[in-house]
């Protein structure tokens, strides 16, 4: 599938920061003493088209602008942004050029910003547009959620921008906030919700909406869009993951009629009946839409093993007209690659398990999860616990850390199996596991949960190990508190990877006062070094 849309100002250049902000301010001050708006000295580059800044024409990203200008010789351009909060570096273009159309990102809402432009030619001669370019940003819309920080330690935080998706009925948002929790960028899609978000290698955003995977630049311009039918798939859901090869991984579904299927999650004696069982399909494809691998979990695992919610009918609207509706057997919610041995790791919510499969053969490598209910031949792939371990239940978002461990958000729904007569005790946590494939064992090496803080998200969620601080960014994305008007809310928090952990950042997302109290949920959050591509 060819790319569509106009050339992106973001894609046209990658950006690297100046050494220090202090040096940048000294540079601006020294240039300001050198004279007029246009530098007349022949040794310095000159502006041949006056710099101007206009609001981003794409209404999907209101907190952005575009700066345009031209110069008499090839230069690099560095931009600095000043408002009533701070003066900060934005970016420097790595290539020398004479025509510029550059995105201005990182604007606070309802704020007047001063944009400073510094240009440098190939001989190192510098000049600036002395008079700052003034730009006033729009306020946030009245139906925007209320974002509040309740914990913070800027010295202990991972540097960068927090990007997340916020959803309620009829509204889908991607939102970026700074270290204060203040909104500095957002993308609005009103017709449908926004699922998984990933930053691509060239600085674009990949996200999943109700019926497609979309690639946009940071100004909201659509570059490419894939729909499942174009790839010969039934659906896309939950996950979009860019592999090291440049291919994409996602999850799809299929429906199969199976005889003698369980009809109850609580009564083992309930009579079996025919059912249309929906299972997950792992699909790997490239930008052209060519599918390279397609593996059905119904062929790899026991389709008759159920956990809580396996008999749900979530897929009835996707597969209408099937007698008796559908059964949500596996409910995959993540698929990632393990580059160490060319395999996939899949999170299956309604099986309470992570499974690893060989990318080329589709063969099962191991199962990480509670051992109950796995019959032969699947039980020989179970990882055996070493030491004290608490199994994940209805988990989300596994990732492989640089140490080779697996970090995930353990939602903790029910925390037991159907038919085992144990009490339900739902609570969430973050958990880290170490897998020894040679000995087929697993150990729990770290967790953050009910002993340190009792919380519960019955759906969605994420946990990311951050590269600089080694902190963990947690998406506690689906909270329900009974007895208050805005009882559906979410939060994102950052903790140290220690025992006990220290919380260094917390952001809550709620309905704004006087809104429709529809509630907000957050699927996942990421910490980006910058809104701009980085080298």
Per-position DSSP letters for 54-68, written without gaps between them = EE-S-TT--S-EEEE
DSSP 341-364: TTEEEEEEGGGTEEEEEETTT--E
Nearest to residue 297, comparing CAs of 241, 244, 350?
350
DSSP 510-535: EPPTTS-----B---EEEES-SS-B-
Residue environment code for 264-279, b if the CB has 16+ CB neighbours within 10 A, otherwise e: ebeeeeeeeeebbbbb
Residue 93 confidence (pLDDT) above 80: yes
pLDDT band at 98 (very low <50, low <70, confident <90, very high): very high
Nearest to residue 353, comparing CAs of 387, 396, 384, 389?
396
Residue 49 confidence (pLDDT) above 90: yes
C-beta separation of 26 from 80 below 8 A: no
Which pLDDT does position 428 carry in this prediction? 98
C-alpha distance from residue 289 to each of 49, 231, 284 (Å): 42, 6, 9
Rounded distance between C-alpha atoms, residue 203 and residue 219, angstroms: 11
Backbone angles phi, psi at 330, to 5 degrees: -110, -40
pLDDT band at 155 (very low <50, low <70, confident <90, very high): confident
Which pLDDT does position 36 carry in this prediction? 39
Q: Which CATH class is domain 21-136?
A: mainly beta
| 209-252 pLDDT, tens digit each | 888 999 999 999 999 999 999 999 999 999 999 999 999 999 99
Least confident of 1-15, 290-304, 396-410: 1-15
pLDDT band at 152 (very low <50, low <70, confident <90, very high): low
Residue 390 confidence (pLDDT) above 60: yes
Backbone angles phi, psi at 282, to 5 degrees: -85, 125
pLDDT band at 22 (very low <50, low <70, confident <90, very high): very low
Across the range 462-474, mean pLDDT stands at 97
Strand order across the 171-177 sheet: 183-189, 171-177, 161-168, 525-528
Residue 295, beta-bridge partner list: 282
Which pLDDT does position 189 carry in this prediction? 82
Count of residues making up the chain = 535
Specify the DSSP class assigned to residue 471.
Answer: -
The Cβ of residue 207 has, within 10 Å, a number of other Cβ atoms equal to 21
Rounded distance between C-alpha atoms, residue 239 and residue 222, angstroms: 19
C-alpha distance from residue 282 to each of 84, 244, 248, 304, 357 (Å): 49, 17, 11, 19, 10
Pairing label, strands 525-528, 161-168: antiparallel
> Which residues belong to CATH 2.60.40.10 in the chain?
21-136
DSSP 190-255: -SS----EEE-TTS-EEEE-SS-EEEE-TT--EEEEE-GGGGT-S--EEEEEE-TTS-EEEEEEEE
Nearest to residue 184, comparing CAs of 535, 530, 534?
530
Strand order across the 429-436 sheet: 384-385, 441-448, 429-436, 406-410, 396-400
C-beta separation of 178 from 531 below 8 A: no
What is the separation, in whole angstroms, between the first and last Cα of the chain?
27
Rounded distance between C-alpha atoms, residue 16 and residue 149, angstroms: 29
Over the chain, what is the mean pLDDT?
Answer: 90
CA 27 to chain centre: 37
C-beta separation of 406 from 389 below 8 A: no
Nearest to residue 184, comparing CAs of 287, 81, 68, 48?
81
Nearest to residue 315, comparing CAs of 248, 395, 251, 393?
251
Tokens 């689906």 correspond to: 478
Residue 439, beta-bridge partner list: none
| 169-220 pLDDT, tens digit each | 778 899 999 999 999 999 998 666 788 999 998 899 999 988 899 999 999 9
Whole-model pTM above 0.85? yes
Specify the DSSP class assigned to residue 455.
Answer: -
DSSP 5-35: SSPPTTTT--B---S-HHHHHHHHHHHHTT-
Nearest to residue 132, comparing CAs of 208, 79, 205?
79
Q: Which CATH class is domain 146-528?
A: mainly beta
**Upstream peptide bond of 500 is cis (omega within 30 degrees of 0):** yes
> Which residues belong to CATH 2.120.10.30 in the chain?
146-528
Tokens 């051992």 correspond to: 371
Nearby residues of 435 by Cβ (< 8 Å), 6 or more positions away = 366, 368, 383, 405, 406, 441, 442
Structure tokens at 163: 């990007």
Rounded distance between C-alpha atoms, residue 91 and residue 10, angstroms: 11
Nearest to residue 239, comparing CAs of 348, 393, 363, 342?
348
**Percentage of the chain surpassing pLDDT 90?**
81
Across the range 358-374, mean pLDDT stands at 97
Across the range 492-520, mean pLDDT stands at 90
């Amino acid at each position: 599938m060819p790319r569509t849309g106009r050339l992106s100002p973001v894609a046209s250049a990658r950006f690297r920061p100046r050494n220090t902000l202090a040096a940048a301010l000294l540079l601006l001050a020294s240039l300001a003493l050198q004279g007029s708006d246009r530098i007349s000295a022949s040794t310095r580059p000159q502006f041949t088209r006056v710099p101007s800044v206009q609001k981003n024409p794409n209404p999907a990203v209101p907190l952005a602008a575009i700066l345009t200008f031209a110069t008499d010789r090839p230069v690099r351009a560095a931009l600095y942004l000043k408002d009533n909060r701070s003066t900060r570096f934005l970016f420097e273009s790595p290539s020398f050029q004479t025509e510029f159309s550059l995105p201005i990102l990182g604007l606070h809402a309802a704020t007047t910003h001063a944009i400073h432009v510094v240009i440098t030619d190939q001989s190192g001669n510098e000049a600036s547009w002395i008079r700052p370019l003034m730009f006033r940003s729009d306020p946030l819309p009245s139906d925007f959620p209320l974002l509040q920080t309740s914990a913070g330690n800027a010295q202990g935080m991972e540097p960068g921008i927090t990007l997340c998706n916020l959803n309620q009925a009829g509204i889908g948002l991607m939102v970026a906030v700074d270290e204060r929790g203040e909104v500095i960028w957002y993308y609005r899609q009103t017709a449908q919700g926004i699922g998984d978000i990933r930053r691509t290698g060239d600085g674009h955003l990949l996200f999943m909406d109700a019926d497609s995977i979309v690639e946009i630049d940071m100004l909201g311009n659509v570059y490419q869009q894939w729909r499942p039918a174009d790839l010969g798939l039934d659906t896309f859901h939950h996950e979009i993951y860019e592999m090291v090869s440049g291919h994409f991984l996602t999850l799809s579904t299929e429906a199969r009629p199976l005889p003698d299927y369980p009809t109850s999650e609580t009564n083992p004696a309930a009579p079996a009946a025919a059912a249309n069982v929906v299972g997950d399909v792992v699909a790997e494809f490239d930008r052209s839409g060519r599918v390279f691998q397609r593996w059905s979990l119904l062929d790899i695992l026991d389709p008759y093993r159920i956990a809580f919610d396996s008999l749900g009918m979530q897929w009835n609207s996707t597969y209408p007209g099937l007698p008796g509706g559908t059964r949500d057997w596996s409910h995959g919610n993540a698929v990632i690659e393990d580059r160490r041995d060319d395999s996939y790791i899949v999170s299956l919510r309604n099986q309470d398990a992570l499974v690893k499969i060989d990318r080329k053969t589709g063969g099962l490598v191991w199962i990480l999860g509670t051992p109950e209910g796995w019959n032969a031949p699947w039980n020989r792939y179970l990882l055996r616990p070493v030491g004290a371990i608490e199994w994940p239940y209805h988990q989300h978002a596994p990732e492989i850390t640089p140490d080779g461990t697996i970090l995930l958000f353990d939602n903790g729904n029910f925390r037991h199996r159907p038919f085992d007569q144990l009490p339900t005790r739902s609570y969430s946590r973050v958990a880290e596991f170490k897998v020894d494939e040679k000995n087929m064992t697993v150990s729990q090496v770290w967790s953050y949960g009910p002993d340190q803080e009792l919380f519960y998200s019955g759906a969605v969620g994420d946990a990311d190990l951050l590269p600089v601080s080694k902190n963990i960014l947690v998406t506690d994305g689906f909270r329900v508190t009974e007895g208050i008007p805005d009882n559906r809310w979410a939060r994102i928090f950052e903790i140290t990877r220690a025992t006990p952990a220290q919380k260094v950042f917390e952001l809550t997302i709620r309905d704004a006062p006087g809104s429709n109290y529809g509630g907000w949920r957050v699927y996942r959050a990421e910490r980006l070094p910058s809104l701009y591509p980085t080298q």
